[in-house]
């Protein structure tokens, strides 16, 4: 398993365009533009040390005005979303790697050694801790009765919210070579849905783990193991009776939630995932395009190529803009209607692996350096005066 993870990480570095390799095109330099949003930092807090290139799945979660965050060094935080005030913090003493997931009165986080810990959402007190079979590199999902945990060995399991006892377990075969990452489970009604490294999406009965359906969204092809990578590492998105999913070297697809039938598919490669609007899907592709596509048929509305090979996160929707982060710690706001760049702000030097989240008019982003930052972007579509323009709107190199 460690060999697969190491190879997956090596391939990912190449895919992102490592500047040290003269045969690989370097990341695009940041272009100069006239900002149309004024970005301000509201607060910032260090929640952990650098993850040392581990590409962990530690990202903030927002629930009822609170922000929950965890660092690789083991600390878990509950914060006031507006002020950043620490409401509680708990030292788990675990090498945390995936989460937190929040729901039903619990904050659930997984670790690189396979352990899963559940904390009380109000006080941060530990409720239970159990060990699973592999690294937890995706945020657990929390339903009314279970914590759904995905591990890198292809297993998904339901753990009791009372004591962490395993309720059911299922396993998908893991290909010989995979990217560094796993898709998080998503609860939809009485089902839990998850993408896997073989390009399949599987729906399970939440109560007992029975497979309700499975769909091969992407199929491996090619002669080498690298060419055959079809990992689904981003979360599926559910809207009404529809489900949307995208995979690496695979397809962007719309499926029926109740049966897994594929309504439409479009060739597209992304290892981070997508954001879903009312009528539009937004995707950061593996090569750094940011695309907007029509939900009903996958037709491309616009595509922005100004951020090529910059290792973009999945997008998040921020009002009339979408926001993505990159490998240098920059956040980029793009117009949802046109894809035009609206603003740029650097939170701190260093990679951002996980997508920003948006809640209550704020953008929250956690860098791989363990820094959690809250920002607010304001504007009316007109150019921002120079005195309030984001400091990092000028061209930047590598």
Do 136 and 95 form a contact (C-beta atoms < 8 A)? Answer: no
Burial of 85: CB neighbours in 10 Å, binned 0-12, 13-18, 19+: exposed
Helix (H) or strand (E) holding 10: helix 2-15
How many separate domains does the chain show?
1
Strand partners, 41: 375
Torsion of CA 140, 345, 248, 151, to 10 degrees: -20
Is 91 within the bounds of a domain?
yes
pLDDT beneath 50: ranges in the chain: 1-21, 385-398
Structure tokens at 350: 């260093």
Helix (H) or strand (E) holding 69: strand 66-70
Taking only the tens place, the pLDDT of each residue in 6-60 is: 344 434 444 443 333 456 789 999 999 999 999 999 999 999 887 677 889 999 9
Is 95 within the bounds of a domain?
yes
Is 133 within the bounds of a domain?
yes
Residue 69: domain span: 52-171
Is 380 within the bounds of a domain?
no
**Burial profile 337-362: b = 16 or more Cβ within 10 angstroms, e = fewer:** eebebbbbbbbbebbbbbbbbbbeeb
Is 193 within the bounds of a domain?
no
The alpha-carbon radius of gyration of the chain (Å, integer) is 20
Do 206 and 33 form a contact (C-beta atoms < 8 A)? Answer: no
Is 15 within the bounds of a domain?
no
- Confidence (pLDDT) at 175: 76
Taking only the tens place, the pLDDT of each residue in 67-101 is: 999 999 999 999 999 999 999 999 999 999 999 99
- Token pair 């080498």 is found at 224
Please tell me the distance from the alpha carbon of residue 1 to that of residue 151, in angstroms, as a whole number: 12
How many of the other CB atoms lie within 10 Å of CB of 47? 23
Domain of 112, CATH number, reads 2.40.128.630
Please tell me the distance from the alpha carbon of residue 315 to that of residue 324, in angstroms, as a whole number: 5
**Coil, strand or helix: which one is 241?**
coil
Please tell me the distance from the alpha carbon of residue 220 to that of residue 240, in angstroms, as a whole number: 30
pTM of the model: 0.89
Is 167 within the bounds of a domain?
yes
List the strands of the sheet with 57-58, edge to edge. Answer: 57-58, 96-103, 106-111, 115-120, 126-131
Do 280 and 303 form a contact (C-beta atoms < 8 A)? Answer: no
Is 81 within the bounds of a domain?
yes
3-state DSSP helix/strand/coil % of the chain, to nearest 5: 5, 45, 50
Length in residues, the chain: 398
Structure tokens at 276: 């879903």
φ/ψ of residue 168, rounded to 5:
-160, 165
């Amino acid at each position: 398993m460690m060999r697969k993870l190491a190879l997956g990480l090596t391939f990912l570095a190449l895919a992102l365009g490592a500047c040290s390799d003269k045969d690989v095109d370097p990341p695009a330099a940041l272009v100069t533009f006239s900002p149309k949003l004024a970005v301000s930092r509201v607060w910032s807090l260090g929640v952990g040390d650098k993850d040392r290139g581990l590409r962990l799945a530690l990202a903030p979660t927002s629930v009822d005005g609170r922000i929950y965050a965890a660092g690789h060094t083991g600390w878990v935080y509950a914060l006031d979303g507006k002020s950043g005030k620490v409401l509680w913090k708990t030292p788990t003493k675990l090498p945390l790697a995936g989460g937190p997931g929040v729901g039903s009165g619990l904050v659930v986080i997984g670790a690189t050694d396979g352990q899963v810990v559940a904390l009380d959402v109000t006080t941060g007190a530990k409720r239970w801790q159990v060990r699973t079979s592999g690294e937890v590199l995706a945020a657990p999902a929390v339903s009314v009765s279970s914590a759904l945990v995905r591990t890198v060995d292809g297993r998904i399991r339901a753990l009791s919210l009372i004591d962490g006892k395993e309720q059911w377990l299922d396993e998908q075969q893991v290909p010989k070579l995979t990217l560094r990452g796993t898709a998080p489970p998503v609860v939809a009604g009485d089902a839990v849905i998850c993408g896997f490294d073989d390009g399949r999406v599987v729906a399970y009965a939440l109560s007992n783990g029975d497979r309700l359906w499975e769909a091969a969204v992407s199929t491996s092809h090619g002669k080498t193991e690298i060419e055959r990578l079809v990992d689904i590492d981003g979360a599926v998105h559910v809207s009404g009776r529809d489900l949307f999913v995208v995979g690496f070297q695979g397809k962007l697809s719309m499926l029926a939630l109740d049966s897994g039938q594929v309504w439409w598919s479009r060739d597209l490669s992304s290892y981070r995932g997508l954001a879903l609007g009312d009528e539009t899907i937004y995707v950061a592709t593996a090569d750094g395009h940011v695309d907007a596509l029509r939900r009903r048929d996958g037709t491309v509305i616009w595509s922005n190529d100004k951020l090529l090979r910059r290792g973009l996160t999945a997008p998040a929707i921020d009002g009339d803009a979408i926001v993505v982060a990159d490998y240098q710690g920059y956040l980029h706001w793009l117009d949802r209607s046109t894809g035009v760049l609206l603003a740029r702000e650097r939170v701190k030097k260093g990679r951002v692996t996980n997508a920003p989240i948006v809640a209550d008019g704020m953008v929250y982003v956690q860098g791989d350096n363990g820094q959690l930052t809250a920002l607010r972007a304001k504007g009316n579509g007109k150019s921002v005066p120079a005195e309030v323009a984001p400091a990092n709107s000028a061209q930047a190199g590598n």
